[in-house]
């Protein structure tokens, strides 16, 4: 499978704290790749560096051969990267429809934007039902679905999700993950980070265990769940590397 995203020796530091230390990672076209790891492992730093939200101290991130590091967030969106940050940031006073339209602000193909909007309302009926309501009135699960659909409105090639299951009841997490697998079926490549290891493993083609700023173990769900080193890789290290 050819790689869409290639990460080589990516390092992210905050002052004297090294959050990521020379990470190598590759995500194939059409894959779902999961990064799992405990609190402070460096998961958000990884997504933020790819998206251009935090600067990298070194290394390279290419999307389809184009270097993404040093591009600001808006440019990375233009190149096809969409990110759903942790915490379901809807604009609470705007309606569901208005929130969705905001995801398409970089696009000029307005007829296609309208068609995409209708497509998402068909695919995710709960959004159609609530389309005229302020997003702040939606439940946590509905808000998570809204921010994912909003990110898809930019027509990304790569969708990055930061802990989409955080704080949601298990049944709702199932709905959010159904949406993630439907999104892959539409041809979008997905990189998801989670503390919810079981859920991420269940949908991912490949999972990497990140801990202390480094990838400790990688494999398919089957390989990882049968691996005696899994628990040590996930739980066994201090959360960050202090220099
Ligand atoms: N803005 C920042 N300034 C200083 N240190 C930071 C900053 N953001 C993250 N860190 C540190 O970098 C390390 C990695 O943090 P990061 O947020 O990437 O981890 P995470 O895996 O996303 O954790 P969580 O599961 O809590 O979201 C941690 O030690 C954290 O304290
Ligand atoms: Mg995080």
Give the distance (Å) from ligand 1 centre to CA of residue 243.
15
Residues 190, 211: Cα–Cα separation, whole Å: 21
Give the relative orientation of helices 170-185 and 140-152 as an angle to the nearest 10 degrees: 10
Angle CA 158–159–164, to nearest 5:
160
d(CA 48, CA 227): 30
User: Structural domains in the chain?
Assistant: 3-242 (3.40.50.300)
What pLDDT is attached to residue 150?
Answer: 96
Determine phi and psi for 32, rounding to 5 degrees: -110, 120
CA–CA distance, 202 with 53 (Å, rounded to integer): 29
Entry field: residues in the chain? 243
CA 232 to chain centroid, in Å, comes to: 25
State the pTM of this model: 0.94
pLDDT higher than threshold 70 for residue 241: no
- Please, which residues have CB within 8 angstroms of residue 164's CB and are 6 or more apart in sequence? 84, 144, 148, 176, 177, 180, 192, 194
Closest ligand 1 atom, CA of 239? 29
Contact of 75 with 123, CB cutoff 8 Å: no
The residue whose two tokens read 């602000």 is: 105
Express each pLDDT in 49-62 by its tens digit: 999 999 999 999 99
| Confidence band of 242 (pLDDT split at 50, 70, 90) | very low
**Alpha helices (runs of H) in the chain, residue ranges in sequence order:** 43-51, 73-78, 96-102, 110-123, 125-129, 140-152, 170-185, 197-203, 221-225, 230-235
Does the pLDDT value for residue 118 go beyond 90? yes
From residue 162, give the alpha-carbon distance in Å to each of 89, 125, 190, 217.
12, 24, 11, 20
Distance between Cα 39 and ligand 2 center (Å): 7
Q: What sections of 11-72 are H helices per DSSP?
A: 43-51
Residue 140 Cβ < 6 Å to ligand 1: no
pLDDT in tens, 1-42: 579 999 999 999 999 999 999 999 999 999 999 999 999 999
| pLDDT of the residue at 240 | 45
Q: 147 phi and psi, to 5 degrees?
A: -70, -30
Is 17 a pocket residue for ligand 1 (Cβ < 6 Å)? yes
**Alpha-carbon span 85 to 73, nearest angstrom:** 12
How much distance in Å is there from the Cα of 52 to the middle of ligand 1?
16
Which residue has a Cα nearest atom 6 of ligand 1? 14
The pLDDT tens digits for 130-160 are: 999 999 999 999 999 999 999 999 999 999 9
């Amino acid at each position: 499978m050819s790689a869409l995203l290639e990460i080589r020796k990516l390092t992210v530091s905050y002052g004297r704290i090294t959050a990521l230390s020379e990470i190598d990672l590759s995500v194939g076209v059409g894959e779902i790749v999961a990064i799992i790891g405990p609190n402070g492992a460096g998961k958000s730093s990884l997504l933020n560096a790819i998206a251009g939200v935090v600067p990298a101290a070194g290394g390279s991130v290419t999307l389809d051969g184009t270097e993404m590091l040093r591009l600001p967030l808006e440019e990375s969106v233009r190149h096809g990267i969409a990110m759903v940050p942790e915490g379901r940031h809807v604009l609470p006073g705007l309606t569901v429809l208005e929130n969705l339209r905001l995801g398409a602000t970089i696009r000029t193909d307005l007829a296609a934007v309208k068609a995409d909007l209708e497509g998402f309302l068909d695919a995710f009926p709960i959004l159609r039902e609530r389309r005229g309501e302020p997003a702040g009135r939606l439940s946590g699960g509905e808000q998570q679905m809204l921010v994912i659909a909003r990110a898809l409105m930019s027509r990304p090639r790569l969708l990055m999700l930061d802990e989409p299951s955080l704080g949601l009841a298990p049944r709702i997490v199932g709905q959010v993950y159904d949406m993630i697998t439907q999104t892959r079926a539409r041809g979008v490549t997905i990189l998801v980070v989670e503390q919810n290891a079981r859920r991420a493993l269940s949908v991912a083609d490949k999972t990497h265990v990140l801990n202390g700023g480094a990838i400790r173990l990688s494999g398919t769900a089957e390989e990882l769940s049968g691996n005696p080193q899994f628990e040590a890789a996930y739980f066994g290290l201090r959360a960050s590397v202090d220099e």
